[in-house]
Amino acid sequence: MGRLRRFYASMVGKKVVMGVTGLIGIGFVILHSLGNLLVFRGPAAINSYSHFLKSSCELLWGLRIVLIAAVILHVTAAVQLTRQSRAARPIGYVKRDPQAATIASRTMRWGGALLLVFIVLHILHFTTGTIRPAGVFSHEDVYTNVVAGFRIWWVALFYVVSMIALGFHVFHGAWSSVRSIGVSPESPEPLHHRISLALAILIWAAFTAVPVAVFSGLVR
Ligand code: HEM
């Protein structure tokens, strides 16, 4: 326990925790975005997929516990790393080098904060039904929840904007996490940079397709 604590106390330790928990998150969003595409196959397809996921309490809660732990560790390490690097450089750079940072890396903190707000509102919207912008919610009928929700312009817009933040976060997070974990060496144009870009675009497109298709009337 002492060694684990000492490892986590270091900046490298926190970066490894961020990398591993980030990759767990990416695994989840890949599966979740694919599952969501079942909306295009109609109510029966997505509703029976949802019933299957909820059919085993052990599977559902096993997954939920892993995800909750990953999110808590990821956010805690991010906040602590930010504080550590600010404390190490209290005055800040006189002139930042814009070349050094991509849009994605610069938006990591704000995008991450938006995603955290998104996840909370999203669970209250589609999982618990606490927030009902369309006035309807059924635990058995995910299809109707999705279609009713995304007919409202500001709900669809909130999801579309959040998915842009997700795309940037996944792009930067995917390639920087493999480096933090130490799997890949640094190189100017590594292959995993391009793989991360392709992954981010595919995840963004799969998620964004659903609110756009409902709002435009393609899925009704
Ligand atoms: C347009 C994008 C998205 C759509 C349409 C969508 C749709 C849904 C739906 C319908 C559910 C409820 C499933 C059910 O009750 O069977 C759900 C649950 C959930 N979604 Fe999403 N989702 C989207 C994006 C995301 C993103 C980007 C994340 C994470 C970063 C996410 C995380 C979750 C989580 C954690 C749950 C709760 C799973 C559970 O414990 O039951 N979703 N989503």
Q: What's the CA-to-centroid distance between 139 and ligand 1, angstroms?
A: 13
When pLDDT is cut at 50, 70 and 90, the band that residue 192 belongs to is confident
Note the pLDDT of residue 1. 64
Is 70 exceeded by the pLDDT of residue 189? no
Note the pLDDT of residue 104. 60
Q: Whose CA is nearest to atom 40 of ligand 1?
A: 64
d(Cα 113, Cα 116) in Å, to the nearest integer? 5
Q: What's the CA-to-centroid distance between 193 and ligand 1, angstroms?
A: 27
In the chain, what percentage of residues exceed pLDDT 90?
73
CA atoms within 13 A on the CB side of 51: 9
Note the pLDDT of residue 88. 75
When pLDDT is cut at 50, 70 and 90, the band that residue 184 belongs to is low
When pLDDT is cut at 50, 70 and 90, the band that residue 146 belongs to is very high
d(Cα 210, Cα 40) in Å, to the nearest integer? 8
Mean of the per-residue pLDDT values of the chain:
90
Q: Whose CA is nearest to atom 7 of ligand 1?
A: 36
Mean pLDDT of 163-177: 92
Q: What's the CA-to-centroid distance between 127 and ligand 1, angstroms?
A: 8
* Helix 11-36, helix 43-55: angle, nearest 10: 140
Is 60 exceeded by the pLDDT of residue 95? no
Rounded to a whole number of angstroms, the CA Rg of the chain reads 19
Note the pLDDT of residue 180. 78
Q: Whose CA is nearest to atom 32 of ligand 1?
A: 119
d(Cα 31, Cα 120) in Å, to the nearest integer? 19
CA angle 114, 116, 118 (to 5 degrees): 70
Note the pLDDT of residue 126. 98
Note the pLDDT of residue 142. 97
Q: Give yes or no for a contact between 123 and 145, defined as CB atoms under 8 angstroms apart.
A: no
Is 90 exceeded by the pLDDT of residue 141? yes
Residues with Cβ within 6 A of ligand 1? 29, 32, 36, 50, 53, 64, 67, 115, 119, 122-123, 126-127, 142, 146, 159, 163, 166, 207, 210-211
d(Cα 115, Cα 127) in Å, to the nearest integer? 17
Q: Which two tokens stand for residue 113?
A: 């904060």
Closest atom, ligand 1, to C-alpha of 163: 27
d(Cα 70, Cα 20) in Å, to the nearest integer? 8
Q: Give yes or no for a contact between 210 and 150, defined as CB atoms under 8 angstroms apart.
A: yes
More confident residue, 172 or 216: 216
Q: Give yes or no for a contact between 125 and 149, defined as CB atoms under 8 angstroms apart.
A: yes
Mind giving me the DSSP string for 93-138?
-SS--GGGS-HHHHTHHHHHHHHHHHHHHHIIIIIS----TTS---
More confident residue, 74 or 186: 74
**Which pTM value belongs to this model?**
0.91
Is 70 exceeded by the pLDDT of residue 63? yes
d(Cα 128, Cα 150) in Å, to the nearest integer? 17
